Amino acid sequence: MDAAQTFPAFPWIDAAIVLALIALNGLFAMSELAIVSARRPRLQAMAKVGKRGAKAALDLSADPGKFLSTVQIGITGIGVLAGAFSGEKLGGPLGAILQHLFALSAETGENVGFAVAIILTTYVSLIIGELVPKQYALRNPEPLAVLMAPLMVLLARATAPLVWLLEQSSALIFRLFRMKSDAPNHVTAEELQLIVAEASHHGVIEESERAIISGVVRLADRPVREVMTPRTDVDWLDADAAPEVLRETLLATPHTRLPVAQGGVEDIIGVVQARDVMAALFRGQALDLRALMRPVSIVPDQVDAMDALNRLREADVPMVMVHDEYGHFEGIVTPADLMSAIAGEFVSDKDLYAQPLVTEREDGSLLVSGQMPVDALAERLDFTLPEDRDFATVAGYALHVLKRLPEEGEHFTEQGWRFEIVDMDGRKIDKLLVSAKR
């Protein structure tokens, strides 16, 4: 008999059935990851414009227990069926082929053929039934979720009793181990920052837009004392000063609104606007600050920057005084302070400092002013700050770590960065050198 006639035939139809089962398994895996990964805002936007399947996808994502039970029924059933079918229908013919090619015994050929069938089926299942569909779902989650959701809803209805049993069994396990089955559905500030950074990286928004969005997000979490102009930098007018002194002060200051104090900066009694002073001078009136000043608004230093913004909106003059719990004056907040906190410093603001807040040196280290906002440095260096911190500047951060007033030349290391005190202005930390720890 001819060798071609005795060579065992391969069951191509059975192999095609196994391949179809694996592809169907991949369809379930793709649907699962697409619906889980799809972003609700995008699905909601698609539902608003009447995209078919978007509402079903939203319903499935809102009830993950039911959806995952439905998908697992399909994946498990198909996996068991594909494994059993491949072993039964492909193992024998493959064993016969191997027995013919390598002169194996009938028992050995059958065992080896069964093993080869299982290995090949598992390999193809991993590629076609898992990896490729899931990677594709991660790249296009919303369109795939909208496409597959109606089919998943039909399957959930068809297998409702079994889905209910699986859901209740899972819930029982959660109760036994005292675990919460529902995760909080909210976006944290850190996650929002990461989303904005990713959008900037992929060119969806410009870097300048990213910086402004990040500044707005950070503003709500910053205490008012981190954005205020500190008392040491506040220009003020003495209500009892001579007219000549007032004129010299007004000519020297770049500000259009100034606090009015009685005797000292601790006793602020109002706010005066430069335009009101100019109007009085043009009318030939005497320069009486008490008559020209407006009421002053005060906020405690424990409130956040957004609360200060609301007070600025309500104030007669957009300037708010910040006091500590003992009633001591700490600084002022103006719209310009909040704008600088969001968009960064302006050139006119930088002129107020003898040197810039931070200077990058040739070796990559940073010469940092002690008055630099510590959260701005933390964002630049990517290190974390305590949420309940009671300091606002880099100098305050150094005092928080050292727990005492340092001397020039002292240093400390935090989160992979070395901070060295390079200049003291009396009892104030004036300059620090920040470099990566070696």
Identical fold between 224-349 and 354-436: no
Give the homologous superfamily in CATH for domain 224-349. Answer: CBS-domain (3.10.580.10)
Is the sign of the CA dihedral 268, 271, 272, 273 positive or negative?
positive
Query: Token pair for residue 180?
Result: 């919460």
* Virtual torsion, Cα 100, 104, 107, 109, nearest 10 deg: -50
Give residues with Cβ within 8 angstroms of 287, minimum separation 6: 243, 246, 247, 277, 280, 281
Below-70 pLDDT ranges, the chain: 1-7, 87, 180-191, 193, 344-355, 438
Q: What's the CA gap between 388 and 404, in Å, rounded? A: 19
Give residues with Cβ within 8 angstroms of 4, minimum separation 6: none
Beta strands 411-414 and 264-273, pairing class: unpaired
Neighbours of 280 (CB within 10 A): 16
DSSP 224: G
Q: What is the pLDDT of residue 353?
A: 43
Q: Cβ(210)–Cβ(201) under 8 Å? A: no
Helix (H) or strand (E) holding 217: helix 207-219
Which of 96, 13, 31 is CA-nearest to residue 70? 31
Q: Cβ(43)–Cβ(35) under 8 Å? A: no
Query: Token pair for residue 196?
Result: 């904005």
Give residues with Cβ within 8 angstroms of 81, minimum separation 6: 21
Q: What is the pLDDT of residue 182?
A: 58
Q: What is the pLDDT of residue 271?
A: 92
Q: What is the pLDDT of residue 3?
A: 46
pLDDT tens sequence across 141-159: 999 999 999 988 888 888 8
Tokens 């002013």 sit on residue: 369
Locate the domains of the chain by residue range.
3-176, 189-219, 224-349, 354-436
Q: What is the pLDDT of residue 208?
A: 76
92-117 in b/e burial notation, b at 16+ Cβ within 10 A? bbbbbbbbeeeebeeeebbebbbebb
**Per CATH, domain 354-436 is 1.10.3080.10:** no
Q: What is the pLDDT of residue 185?
A: 55
Q: What is the pLDDT of residue 125?
A: 85
Q: Cβ(336)–Cβ(349) under 8 Å? A: yes
In 3-state terms, what secondary structure has residue 112?
Answer: helix
In 3-state terms, what secondary structure has residue 393?
Answer: strand
Q: What is the pLDDT of residue 2?
A: 47
